[in-house]
Amino acid sequence: MTATLYIIATPIGNLEDITYRAVRILGEVDLVAAEDTRHSLKLLNHFNISKPLTSYFDHNQQFKGERILNALRQGKSVALISDAGTPCISDPGYNLVRDAVSEGIPVVPIPGACAAIAALSGSGLPSDSFTFAGFPPARQAKRRVFLADMAALPGTLVLYEAPHRLEETLRDIREVLGERQLVVARELSKIYEEFIRGTATEVMAAVAQGKARGEIVILIAPGEAVQEPTEALDTLLLRLMDEEKLSVKDAARKAAMITGTSRNEAYSEALRLRHADEQS
């Protein structure tokens, strides 16, 4: 094989979900770059593949990326795989691909499993237009801003989330985006695969009944088109800050989305109202 960087999708759970082509290429390359070599060794062993392994993940990507590029420069072929699913989707593979492309090294994707696409295809939500936004920020304040920025996007919104943050994120989705239809997909392709469907409140109640585990995909139905505001900006801001307990910044963002007012104007009015309330 000539110098080529192969981007190989691996199973997200069920080992049968790897393609014949992926198995063949993994058996032919000179080097396999993996997110976790211990995890990937089990996959290779399952298919009786014995190849040199090197780790490539967030905290060593600069150092290991250069070593992998050197192997490619020497004419070797390299397969990039992640722990599960398609590399470069919410992992650092993008940087390696970018650097290989900049040096004229061929990059060949080997399609296969992807949790986001699998969840979308089985969700029952509109799939003709969607936005994949990866993992929301871990901190609530930043997460709410993140969600507010996504509020007006057309199509279904697809997110990844860690099990221990699922309930908090669902709560923020309801507070910022309202009672949209949601789907939580988890343990995809595994024995306990599950799709939880319903309004934000219904999904929150279902999730609260059991312990979340495994890889989780959250899918959010598109919001309704912005209507003419039914309440004045100041009234809306007061309701958002007092009744929904949103911060000044989050209330301003949501009010701007609902009323069509600029964010700066909404934020200035929210600050004025908060200051007036503190002085009274």
Query: Are 229 and 260 in contact, with CB atoms under 8 Å apart?
Result: yes
In the prediction, which pLDDT does 1 show?
Answer: 67
26: left (phi over 0), alpha (psi -120 to 50) or beta: alpha
pLDDT tens digit sequence for 53-70 = 999 887 677 778 899 999
Task: Give the span between the Cα atoms of 189 and 212, in whole angstroms.
Answer: 16
Does residue 48 sit within a domain? yes
> What is the residue whose two structure tokens read 């279904």?
156
100 with 172, same domain?
Answer: no
Last residue of a domain, which of 94, 113, 132?
A: 113
β-pairing, 130-132 vs 156-161, is parallel
Token pair in block for residue 11? 């199973």
DSSP 124-184: -S--SSEEE--SPPSSHHHHHHHHHHHTT-SSEEEEEE-GGGHHHHHHHHHHHH-S-EEEE
Q: Residue 163's domain is classified under what CATH number?
A: 3.30.950.10
Spatial strand order of the sheet with 194-199 comes to 130-132, 156-161, 216-220, 181-186, 194-199
CA distances from 107 to 36, 52, 234 (A): 21, 20, 54
CB 145 within 8 A of CB 138: no
Same domain, yes or no, for 153 and 89? no
Q: Are residues 107 and 150 in the same domain?
A: no
- Spell out, as residue ranges, where the chain has pLDDT lower than 50: 226-229
Q: How far apart are CA 127 and CA 112, in angstroms?
A: 18
Stretch (H or E) spanning 196:
strand 194-199
Nearest 5 degrees, angle CA 15-CA 17-CA 19? 110
Task: Give the alpha-carbon dihedral of 33, 38, 43, 45, to 10 degrees.
Answer: 110
Report the SS3 class of residue 33.
strand
Q: Within this chain, do residues 240 and 205 fall inside the same structural domain, yes or no?
A: no
In this predicted structure, what is the pLDDT of residue 232? 85
Q: Which of 113, 130, 151 is the last residue of a domain?
A: 113
Please check whether residues 68 and 128 belong to one and the same domain.
no
Domain holding 27, by residue range, is 5-113
User: Does residue 9 lie within any of the structural domains?
Assistant: yes
Q: In the chain, how many domains are there?
A: 3
Specify whether 106 is located in the same domain as 43.
Answer: yes
Average pLDDT, the chain: 91
Same domain, 47 and 108: yes
Residues 214 and 239 in one domain: no
Q: Is residue 226 part of a domain?
A: no
Asked if the structure places residue 164 within a domain, the reply is yes
Classify residue 227: in a domain, yes or no. Answer: no
- Phi, psi for 33 (deg, rounded to 5): -100, 120
Residue 225 lies in a domain: no
**Is 239 in the same domain as 214?**
no
- The span from the CA of 256 to the CA of 269, in Å, is 11
**Statement to judge: residues 133 and 170 lie in one domain:** yes
Q: How confident is the model at residue 212, as a pLDDT?
A: 74
Q: What is the largest CA-CA distance in the chain?
A: 76
Evaluate whether residue 255 is within a structural domain. Answer: yes
Instruction: Please tell me the pTM assigned to this model.
Output: 0.78
pLDDT at 274: 86
User: Is residue 124 included in any domain, yes or no?
Assistant: yes
Tokens of 110: 């080997």
How many other CB atoms sit within 10 Å of the CB of residue 99? 16
pLDDT in the model for residue 226: 45
pLDDT at 52: 95
Q: What pLDDT is recorded for position 253? A: 87
Q: Which of 90, 113, 136 is the last residue of a domain?
A: 113
